[in-house]
């Protein structure tokens, strides 16, 4: 963790340098940008099926749960469990995203911004990877909550095996290095445009590379990260 925190200022400095010298492009930089976009497009094609399968599987743990079917008294409102499906989606995306992050690194981009984006994707993959052991199961969570007497201070995150120090209940990261990595990716759009990437492909690349942020709020969330 200390190593990552030390690297973040360097990544941001490199990103700023890329923006300041946006007119300095080469044929190699433009080719690397196209390779990044191609990698993002290939990953993006995989995400709908993965998310659909995840949501179907996770929804079954709710609808097939006897507590829900029997309408047990004191069941908490669905809003209290809203983030659970999102964490399940995160898990479903992790293996493919890890391969995608490696693919970006393997391009060995010369442009400073592209290098920073590849490094940021690796940080994103590593930190979201900590969710692999989580158990986003509605019925299991409801039964744990019932066993705790439907307490108001019941922690859904702890019940599904996620530290409250790493994510909030809505799926937003709390780890500084991860938040900065997502912002770094979101802020790379302008440089991609300078490298000749058309707007639709810029948007597609950002949605793919910041896919976990996009899961929380679509392109609007990515635009917010870019502004912050």
- Residue 150 CA from chain centroid, whole number: 31
pLDDT per residue as tens digits for the range 134-146: 999 999 999 999 9
Outline where the chain has alpha helix (H).
2-20, 27-63, 66-69, 82-106, 112-128, 138-147, 156-159, 176-186, 189-194, 199-209, 211-227
Average pLDDT value over all residues in the chain: 91
When pLDDT is averaged across residues 198-217 and rounded to a whole number, the result is 97
CA distance 114 to 14: 10
**pLDDT-based confidence at residue 201 (cuts at 50, 70, 90):** very high
**pLDDT-above-90 percentage for the chain:** 85
β-strand partners of 167: 173
What is residue 2's predicted lDDT score, i.e. its pLDDT? Answer: 44
CA distance 197 to 179: 25
When pLDDT is averaged across residues 180-194 and rounded to a whole number, the result is 97
CA distance 68 to 199: 45
pTM of the model: 0.87
CA distance 74 to 52: 30
When pLDDT is averaged across residues 177-189 and rounded to a whole number, the result is 97
Angle, alpha carbons 70-75-78 (nearest 5°): 110
What is residue 82's predicted lDDT score, i.e. its pLDDT? Answer: 85
CA atoms within 13 A on the CB side of 96: 22
**pLDDT-based confidence at residue 31 (cuts at 50, 70, 90):** very high
């Amino acid at each position: 963790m200390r190593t990552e925190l030390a690297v973040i200022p360097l990544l941001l400095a490199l990103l700023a340098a890329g923006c300041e010298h946006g007119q300095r492009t080469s044929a190699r930089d433009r080719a690397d940008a196209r390779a990044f976009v191609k990698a993002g497009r290939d990953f993006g094609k995989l995400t709908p099926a993965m998310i659909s399968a995840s949501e179907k599987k996770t929804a079954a743990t709710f609808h097939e749960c006897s507590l829900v079917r029997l309408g047990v008294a004191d069941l908490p409102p669905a809003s209290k469990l809203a983030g659970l499906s999102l964490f399940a989606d995160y898990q479903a995306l992790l293996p493919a995203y890890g391969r995608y992050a490696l693919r970006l690194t393997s391009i060995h981009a010369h442009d400073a911004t592209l290098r920073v984006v590849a490094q940021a994707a690796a940080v994103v993959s590593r930190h979201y990877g900590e969710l692999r052991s989580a158990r986003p199961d509605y019925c299991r969570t409801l039964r744990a909550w019932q066993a705790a007497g439907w307490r108001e201070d019941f922690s859904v995150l702890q019940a599904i095996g996620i530290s409250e120090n790493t994510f909030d209940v809505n799926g937003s990261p709390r780890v500084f290095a991860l938040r900065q990595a997502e912002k770094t990716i979101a802020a790379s759009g302008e440089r991609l445009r300078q490298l000749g990437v058309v707007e639709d492909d810029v948007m597609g690349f950002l949605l793919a590379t910041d896919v976990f942020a996009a899961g929380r709020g679509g392109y609007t969330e990515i635009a917010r990260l870019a502004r912050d």
